[in-house]
């Protein structure tokens, strides 16, 4: 009997260890290939990529086409889909506006930032005028002289007329804008960059700081310094999608949540804040203590695939190879996130969330998030 129990325990341990093994590079490449094959089937005759259930948003938001294009460009297998890429880039170029932005009916800053990143990878010299104008458009969206001064330095969805209901800067748009401008800087010689002095990095860092629950660097009354929230981030100064809570001293404080905390970490890095700064250190501390792949921390399954995507980008950019959880466990995040993402892939190669918030019932968007996350993991 004892031998049987010992054997069962040994087998159970072996199964646990086997399940904990990192997916091989071949397995990750296979998952990426299946995801890209699914995306390829969703490209429309006009070059856009569309949710098979609802094609309208792809026309309104060229970013939904730009993201799949980037996923194909970054394919580690190097299988260039020339015709697919040409059609997709042609669609994006057709959305260029006289003001330099690349958008259709709204969310002009977000769409332009994502399209700018895609065009930077096109390799086509004729895109240079579009790229230059798009870069100037995005940099020009940095907020200043706002009625609420805590909003200065950030980026929102776009100016009046292109995003009339969303005028305030927020951390999600700030990370997208800063990432696009960062990609632009990486691909330009220093002599050319010397002419681009239209971005106020200090103001951007100050805005990001006002989105962080860190009273030492955030003077706003909602900054939450309790153990559960310290170091994490909210959507914009004074507001969190994760809600608020009453502190023991009677103050109302904002709750940190996962996806925006990775967005905050990345924003600091793209704004060239030193990685040894207490704000970066505190962000990584919150992310380590709240590490989980079962939810977008404090948001449940809402936005969980965006969370996975941001996690791979944030931890890679921060140079983190291993996380230490609140229980002291060492985590190989590349192994765990790749294994989790692969386990959630559907038979047709797609991924999709059962929660609709932030468009995560769109399999094209979510599949793109997952493919790019796996590509980030392989690109060490």
| Cα-only R_g, the chain | 21
For residues 336 and 287, give the distance between their C-alpha atoms in angstroms, rounded to a whole number: 15
Is 58 a residue whose pLDDT tops 80?
A: no
For residue 14, the model assigns a pLDDT of 39
For residue 359, the model assigns a pLDDT of 93
For residue 222, the model assigns a pLDDT of 86
Computed over every residue of the chain, the mean pLDDT equals 89
Q: Read off the pTM.
A: 0.91
For residue 55, the model assigns a pLDDT of 66
Is 364 a residue whose pLDDT tops 50?
A: yes
Q: State pLDDT tens for residues 190-200.
A: 555 555 667 89
What DSSP assignment string belongs to 197-240?
----HHHHHHHHHHTBS-TTT--STT---STTTTT-B-SBTTB-
Is 247 a residue whose pLDDT tops 90?
A: no
Q: State pLDDT tens for residues 259-284.
A: 999 999 999 999 999 999 999 999 99
For residue 192, the model assigns a pLDDT of 56
- Residue 300 DSSP one-character state: T
Distance between first and last Cα of the chain? 48
The average pLDDT across 73-89 equals 90
């Amino acid at each position: 009997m004892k031998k049987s129990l010992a054997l069962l325990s040994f087998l159970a341990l072996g199964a646990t260890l086997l399940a904990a093994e990192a997916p091989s590079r071949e397995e990750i490449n296979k998952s990426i290939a299946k995801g890209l094959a699914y995306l390829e089937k969703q490209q429309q005759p006009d070059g856009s990529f569309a949710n098979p259930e609802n094609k309208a948003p792809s026309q309104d938001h060229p970013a939904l086409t730009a993201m799949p294009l980037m996923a194909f460009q970054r394919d580690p297998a190097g299988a260039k889909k020339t015709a697919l890429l040409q059609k997709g880039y042609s669609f994006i170029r057709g959305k260029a506006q006289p003001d330099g932005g690349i958008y259709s009916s709204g969310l002009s800053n977000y769409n332009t930032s994502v399209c700018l990143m895609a065009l930077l990878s096109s390799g086509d010299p004729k895109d240079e005028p579009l790229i230059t104008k798009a870069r100037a458009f995005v940099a020009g969206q940095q907020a200043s002289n706002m009625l609420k001064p805590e909003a200065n330095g950030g980026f929102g969805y776009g100016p009046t007329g292109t995003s009339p209901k969303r005028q305030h800067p927020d951390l999600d748009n700030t990370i997208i804008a800063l990432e696009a401008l960062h990609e632009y800087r990486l691909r330009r010689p220093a002599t050319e960059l010397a002419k681009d002095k239209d971005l106020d990095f200090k103001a951007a860092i100050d805005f990001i700081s006002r989105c962080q629950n860190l009273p030492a660097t955030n003077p706003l009354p909602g900054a939450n310094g309790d153990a559960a929230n310290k170091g994490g981030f909210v959507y914009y100064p004074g507001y969190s999608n994760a809600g608020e809570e009453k502190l023991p001293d009677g103050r109302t404080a904002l709750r940190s949540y996962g996806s925006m905390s990775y967005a905050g970490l990345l924003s600091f890095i793209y704004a060239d804040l030193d990685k040894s700064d207490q704000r970066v250190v505190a962000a990584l501390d919150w992310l380590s203590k709240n590490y989980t792949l079962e939810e977008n921390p404090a948001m449940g399954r809402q936005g969980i695939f965006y969370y996975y995507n941001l996690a791979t980008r944030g931890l890679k950019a921060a140079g983190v190879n291993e996380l230490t959880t609140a229980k002291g466990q060492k985590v190989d995040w590349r192994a765990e996130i790749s294994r989790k993402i692969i386990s959630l892939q559907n038979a047709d190669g797609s991924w999709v969330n059962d929660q609709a918030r932030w468009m995560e019932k769109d399999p094209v968007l979510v599949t793109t998030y997952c493919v790019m996350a796996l590509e980030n993991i392989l690109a060490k």
